[in-house]
Amino acid sequence: MALAMASAQAQEPQGGRTVENLYRDCTGSPQAQVSCIRFLGGVGSTMMLLGDMADAQGLARGAKPALAAMGACPRGAGISGGDLRASFIRWAENHRDAAPQAETLGAMRALRAGWPCQ
């Protein structure tokens, strides 16, 4: 129940930043784009850590799918700030209905779509 409530709160921020705000940053002035890349970099780093944890051996039963669902798993080379920005822009343009949702939720969905964990 608490998780469902937290999810609902994350989807509809009250006065907080939204997917639309982040999209404007990512497509705005060079200074705004730097802000976008910094934000996505923080979210992406956390998600890549979760993805790495999902690949770890000796996880409790059920932990791997939960971590993988929240993670990002770039295979091979790392992800640049420009890659993060481009991935988010593509995702946001294809998911206009997500514009009023919390920016963190949108960033996570975009990065998970771009670099899913298996």
CB-side neighbour CA atoms (13 Å) of 105: 20
Are 29 and 110 a contacting pair, CB within 8 Å?
A: no
Note the pLDDT of residue 14: 62
**What are the angstrom distances between the C-alpha of 31 and each of 35, 48, 53, 61?**
7, 25, 33, 45
- pTM, 2 dp: 0.82
- Listed by start position, the domains of the chain span 19-114
Q: Tens digits of per-residue pLDDT, 47-97?
A: 999 988 887 877 777 788 888 888 898 877 678 999 999 999 999 999 999
More confident residue, 14 or 46: 46
User: Using CA atoms, how far apart are residues 96 and 80, in angstroms rounded to an integer?
Assistant: 24
